[in-house]
Amino acid sequence: MKDHHQTQHPAIAEDISKMMIALPADEYYSATDDHWIQRPLDLVVAAALLVLALPIIVMRLGINRLNKRAAVTSRQVLGRSGAPFLLLSTKTGNDYDPLIQLFNVLVGDMSLVGPRPLCNNEAMLVPDQYRLRFTVRPGVFSPYQLKKITGIDFESEWHTDCEEIKQKSATKRFGMLARFLLTGIFGMNADSVKQDNLTLFGVDITNSTMDEALDWMLDRAQAEKPTNVGIVNADTLNKAYRNEDYLSTLNKFDRVLADGIGVRIAGKIASIPLRGNLNGTDLFPRLCKRMADKGLSIFLLGARPDIANSAAANIKQRYPALHIAGTHHGYFSAGKEEMEVISKINNSNASVLLVAFGSPIQEQWIRNHAERLRPAVRIGVGGLFDFYSGRIPRAPIWIREMGMEWGWRLIQEPGRMWRRYIVGNPLFLLRVWHEQRWVRKWGIDNNAGQHRILEHTQRIYSYARLLILRARLRRWAWFAGIHAQQSIKRTFDILCVSSMLVILAPLLVLVGAAIKLDSPGPVLFSQIRIGKGGKPFRLWKFRSMHQNSETRLHKLESLNEMPNGVLFKMKNDPRTTPVGRFIRKYSIDELPQLWNVLMGDMSLVGPRPALPKEVSQYSLQDLKRLETVPGLTCYWQVSGRSMLSFQKQVELDTQYLYSRSFSEDLKILLRTVPAVLRGDGAY
């Protein structure tokens, strides 16, 4: 293990000890208060996570060794009460390595949840009022880190950590661990972000932190520079995707800020992590505090009269020094009444104007009246006043830490919000993924000017994909139809054959006795025939010839009456017995093939099963007969049988392949009955 020690400040531990003693009694937090709960939980959870993560840890160690690096590095940091310990890491130049640091938890240097471990130099920079953080073990996962993942890290790291410590609850901290594991999927390292802008659907979004956005707006307000600010979330970006006028309006604003976990995930898809989640509800109180400190005034425009006034009264109670220049509801008509509202705003000498009409109306209203409005900074804030008036409660912090504030809003107003969140959120992410896929595939710079070209290309591509999908669906439907027909046909075969075997049993016994009395030899005769796909099977018939018929065949081949020589047929075949002539004429000799149908080798309707010798002489065209299950009867059996040439038989069988259906099979079966009774072409 490679050890990177830093020189420890000689007085750091002593300073921390003195600070802890000097803390007021109500603020001092002793780690022993819930040690009996927290430490065992740390051990159990850390051990379980290590078991799950062990393959990943071993892989990292192996990669380090293959790259000729130290398998594990360490750095000296300060723990509880300023005691130094070695913080483990398998990542070069990166202290945050939660998997290997589970070993630090097991040995007692760290806890699963707690303040970030600091080196000596960092610890000396912590203000005295926040040194409460050194009274507990540092954590693998810190409260500030959790807020940073979802972009709500508006307070300083020291303040956030100390507020969590004062809760004095191990169960709450393990609830934080659960939230951390759930929201880790959204986490990206925003500290090293170089891109100052994220473009989605042609909307140019400024990538900034909350403090950067507030500083910029207040500088513009003090300098009295006309500034229009928009705040976009997944829903408003969906509107911009469909509404070209709204898209154009947003791109004319001086800055557009990102709001919500949906846009944050979109940044991850685009590989541009957002530095902050700048939703209006979090921005508003911080803006008001800074304006109160600088002596600036604010005007609230929008919502119902009681809502705007309540929001103003509540924020005034929180920040008494804030000057509310005025309020006005959003229910006024265009024309004279609208001009009176603008005059009221201008006469108030407000520095900042908040417009809460909802998107895209508020942004379009700001754009249309930008030249008339005197407040330097105009911000579209959507439903902000509803929260600060108390009409709609804000989601608890633990819900916001998971990025699930939209779920809270859905519970509050399901009838109004279900389409926005249940339908709109997945649609937004799908559009972002689709757009970024095109950007990466074609190298298109997706700025506002090229957005419509990209969108038009996407539509053409989507239409082409739709045509391909339709073709595939038709193909699948055709295959499904074929399989359904085969299932129906097989079921029909089994039912019919089972019934026929029962009904024809007396006839089968009589025929068998007649064959036995007529000539010596077995009652049944079998041959190897070729079935579907060239698969051979044993076909059964009543014997209609003398026992030595096969050996006499080569002597009679010169007398074959079938052209092309593929089939052998002879009208007065000397090998046929007297009973055999009768049963062949009326196709009674074929009845044992009902067993072949029952076993699945044959069907009631299908091409004639051929001998291997015959198949060996087939042309490519003739081989089409092997594409389906052979049958007892088909087109050629009801159209002249042996009087037809082999080529004509192939044509009729091929015709069946293209026209086969359950109804067509029924027609062939019905035509077979009179053809058998007449004995046409049978010999």
Cα–Cα dist 38/171, whole Å: 8
Same domain for 63 and 168? Answer: yes
Q: Quick one: average pLDDT of 226-240? A: 94
Integer angstrom CA distances of residue 50 from 22, 45, 70, 99: 39, 9, 21, 7
Same domain for 179 and 234? Answer: no
The C-alpha angle with vertex 562 and arms to 560 and 566, in degrees rounded to 5, equals 95
The answer to whether residue 439 sits within a structural domain is no
Helix (H, G, I), strand (E, B) or coil at 612: helix
Q: What is the pLDDT of residue 346?
A: 95
Report the chain's mean pLDDT, rounded to a whole number: 81
Q: Are strands 197-200 and 203-206 parallel, antiparallel or unpaired?
A: antiparallel
The answer to whether residue 112 sits within a structural domain is yes
Instruction: Name the residue among 19, 14, 16, 30 with its Cα closest to residue 165.
Output: 30
Q: What is the pLDDT of residue 501?
A: 87
The answer to whether residue 647 sits within a structural domain is yes
Q: What is the pLDDT of residue 378?
A: 96
Residue 379, token pair as written in the block? 């911000």
DSSP E strand stretches across 128-176: 139-141
The answer to whether residue 119 sits within a structural domain is yes
Same domain for 668 and 532? Answer: yes
Same domain for 156 and 224? Answer: no
538: β partners: 528
Largest CA distance in the chain: 125
pLDDT, tens digit, for every residue of 484-509?
A: 778 888 888 899 888 888 888 888 89
Report CA Rg, the chain. 43
Cα–Cα dist 414/671, whole Å: 65
Same domain for 304 and 170? Answer: no
Integer angstrom CA distances of residue 128 from 20, 125, 131, 153, 158: 10, 9, 5, 21, 10
Q: How many CA atoms lie within 13 A of 499 on its CB side?
A: 6
Are 621 and 564 in contact by the 8 Å Cβ rule? The answer is no
Cα–Cα dist 425/430, whole Å: 9
Helix (H, G, I), strand (E, B) or coil at 369: coil
Helix (H, G, I), strand (E, B) or coil at 471: helix
| Domain boundary pick from 135, 156, 186 | 186
pLDDT at 321 over 90: yes
**Cα 436 → chain centroid:** 15
Q: What are phi and psi of 633, to 5 degrees?
A: -145, 155
Same domain for 162 and 213? Answer: no
Q: What's the structural domain count of the chain?
A: 3
Same domain for 174 and 212? Answer: no
Same domain for 15 and 95? Answer: yes
Q: What is the pLDDT of residue 417?
A: 87
The answer to whether residue 638 sits within a structural domain is yes
The answer to whether residue 443 sits within a structural domain is no
Same domain for 155 and 227? Answer: no
| Domain boundary pick from 412, 444, 468 | 412
Q: What is the pLDDT of residue 481?
A: 72
Q: What is the pLDDT of residue 285?
A: 92
Instruction: Name the residue among 515, 582, 502 with its Cα closest to residue 543.
Output: 515
DSSP E strand stretches across 349-491: 352-356, 377-380
pLDDT at 39 over 70: yes
Pick the most confident of 38-47, 351-360, 604-613.
351-360
More confident residue, 243 or 28: 243
CB-CB neighbours of 470 under 10 Å? 10
Same domain for 214 and 176? Answer: no
The answer to whether residue 458 sits within a structural domain is no
Is residue 563 very low, low, confident or very high in pLDDT (cuts 50, 70, 90)?
low
Q: Quick one: average pLDDT of 433-461? A: 62
Q: What is the pLDDT of residue 620?
A: 76
| Domain boundary pick from 355, 384, 412 | 412
The answer to whether residue 462 sits within a structural domain is no
**Helices then strands (H, E): number in the chain?**
28, 17
Cα–Cα dist 340/318, whole Å: 30
Are 377 and 368 in contact by the 8 Å Cβ rule? The answer is no
Q: What is the pLDDT of residue 179?
A: 76
Q: What is the pLDDT of residue 290?
A: 93
Q: Quick one: average pLDDT of 325-354? A: 93
The DSSP code sequence of 4-38 is E--PPPTTHHHHHHHHHHHS-TTT---GGGSHHHH
Are 269 and 429 in contact by the 8 Å Cβ rule? The answer is yes
Q: Quick one: average pLDDT of 29-55? A: 75
Are 64 and 71 in contact by the 8 Å Cβ rule? The answer is yes
pLDDT at 376 over 90: yes
Q: How many CA atoms lie within 13 A of 368 on its CB side?
A: 13
The C-alpha angle with vertex 254 and arms to 250 and 257, in degrees rounded to 5, equals 65
Q: Quick one: average pLDDT of 154-177? A: 75
Same domain for 487 and 507? Answer: yes
Are 435 and 200 in contact by the 8 Å Cβ rule? The answer is yes
Q: Quick one: average pLDDT of 190-216? A: 83
Same domain for 332 and 222? Answer: yes
pLDDT at 558 over 60: no
Query: By mean pLDDT, which of 54-58, 85-89, 208-212, 482-486 is the weakest?
Result: 482-486
Q: What is the pLDDT of residue 640?
A: 62
Is residue 449 very low, low, confident or very high in pLDDT (cuts 50, 70, 90)?
very low
More confident residue, 154 or 127: 127
46: which residues sit within 8 A by CB, 6+ positions away? 102, 105, 106, 112
Instruction: Name the residue among 575, 570, 651, 646 with its Cα closest to residue 615.
Output: 646
Is residue 322 very low, low, confident or very high in pLDDT (cuts 50, 70, 90)?
very high
pLDDT at 8 over 50: no
Q: Are strands 255-258 and 297-302 parallel, antiparallel or unpaired?
A: unpaired
More confident residue, 549 or 55: 55
User: 161 lies in which domain range?
Assistant: 2-186
pLDDT, tens digit, for every residue of 12-27?
A: 555 555 554 444 444 4
Cis before residue 360, ω within 30 degrees of 0?
yes
Are 146 and 180 in contact by the 8 Å Cβ rule? The answer is yes
pLDDT, tens digit, for every residue of 578-601?
A: 888 888 878 888 889 999 999 989
